[in-house]
Amino acid sequence: MRIILFGPPGVGKGTQAKLLSATLHVPHISTGDMLREAAAARTELGIKAKQVMDAGQLVSDNIMVGIIRDVLTSKKASNGFILDGFPRTLPQAEALTVLFNELNLKLDAVICMEIDDEEVVKRLSSRRTCRACGTIYNLVTDTLRDSTKCPSCGGDLYRRDDDNPETIRARLKVYASSTAPLKDYYARMGMLRPVEASGSIEQIQGAIVVFLNRR
């Protein structure tokens, strides 16, 4: 299975991608996670990317396409993958199509998760991630006993630096101008599968699986 999951920030792509990755036994490839790992490791790319991410802007297409080329040609991706956070611009989508053709790969589906902007701001302001296992929680809906510790592994929970209201609004603007046009691109290819993402995690996962089974 080769799937692209896309949608505005905070729509729940990471959560759904992790679940799908476990169900379908294919790796979850998140460009945001890769950039955050590079930032934590303080590599040259990571330090530059962190500034861009903290401003809610996009890292350049050249860099992102290079990163994705490396991953998709690696052994890790040889049996399929779920792409989360890539492509995010039309040039990235076009470069990905070229790469698929070059590697003789077939894209199975592009799942587009849809949600209101106000809901995004609410969700992201209360999002917390476990530093140890990567599980994502929401302080409003997940009623954790201790909002600083992961209930599943005991790791520290943190709020992403770009999950503050000002940066969230900047990210939404960037999504509307640079990423939303990808809907037309993939609709023209007959690949787009829209999924309403305001329900529970289980309902949304169910809707995605229905689409994948109908292919």
Give me the active site residues, please.
13, 88, 127, 160, 171
Q: Which stretch binds ligand AMP (CB under 6 A): 18-26, 56-64, 70-78, 202-210?
A: 56-64
Is position 86 an interface residue for ligand AMP (rule: CB under 6 A)?
yes
CA separation for the pair 54, 141 (Å, rounded)? 25
Closest CA to 129 of 20, 26, 33: 33
CB of 163 to ligand AMP, least distance (A): 9
Strand runs labelled E in the chain: 2-6, 28-30, 81-84, 109-114, 127-130, 136-138, 157-158, 192-196
Question: What is the residue whose two structure tokens read 């599943």?
Answer: 152
Which residues in the 161-180 window bind ligand AMP by CB under 6 A?
A: 162, 171
Closest CA to 93 of 63, 65, 114: 65
CB of 128 to ligand AMP, least distance (A): 14
Q: Among 19, 26, 35, 168, which residue sits at the site for ligand AMP (rule: CB under 6 A)?
A: 35
Between 116 and 154, CB nearer to ligand AMP: 116
CA separation for the pair 167, 172 (Å, rounded)? 9
Using the 8-state DSSP alphabet, how is residue 156 labeled?
B
Between 34 and 214, CB nearer to ligand AMP: 34
CB of 30 to ligand AMP, least distance (A): 6
CB of 145 to ligand AMP, least distance (A): 27
Is position 8 an interface residue for ligand AMP (rule: CB under 6 A)?
no
Q: Among 20, 39, 64, 112, which residue sits at the site for ligand AMP (rule: CB under 6 A)?
A: 64
Using the 8-state DSSP alphabet, how is residue 176 labeled?
I
Which residues contribute to the site for ligand AMP (CB under 6 A)? 9, 31-32, 35, 52-53, 57-59, 64, 85-86, 88, 92, 162, 171
